[in-house]
Amino acid sequence: MFTVTAKVKLQSGKAEEFVEAVRVMKPQVSQDPGAIEYSLYRSTGDPDEFLFYERYDSEEAFAYHLSTEHFKTLAGAIDPLMAVPGDIGQWVAVL
């Protein structure tokens, strides 16, 4: 199991556009080989802060996801909405 988190801080007023871009991509990610979960969470303390929580059956499955056109399209749509670059974490289970 391979887990990815991405904390994203948006420019003020860009949340609806961001959520819609992710909403369009989510069904496509579920079709990626090895994709198990692709969720988006919003901070309870900051309406412009979001967290992607993604699980894949392997690091290779995540690498495949990064190579897809739908990922590249989403990145192109959301990068200009961010206030700062995303904080990406990659995790493997230990227990």
Q: Which domains does the chain have, with CATH numbers?
A: 2-92 (3.30.70.100)
Question: pTM (2 decimals)?
Answer: 0.93
- Please report the pLDDT score of residue 84 as a whole number: 97
What is residue 51's predicted lDDT score, i.e. its pLDDT? 98
Using alpha carbons, list the distances in angstroms from residue 56 to 31, 34, 63, 74. Answer: 12, 5, 10, 18
Per residue in 25-41, pLDDT tens?
A: 999 999 999 999 999 99
Summarised one tens digit per residue, pLDDT across range 16-73 is 999 999 999 999 999 999 999 999 999 999 999 999 999 999 999 999 999 999 999 9
The pLDDT assigned to 8 comes to 98
Selection from 54, 57, 65, 2 nearest residue 34 by Cα: 57
Percentage, residues of the chain above pLDDT 90: 100
User: How confident is residue 5, by pLDDT bands cut at 50, 70 and 90?
Assistant: very high
- 8 A C-beta contact, residue 29 and residue 35: yes
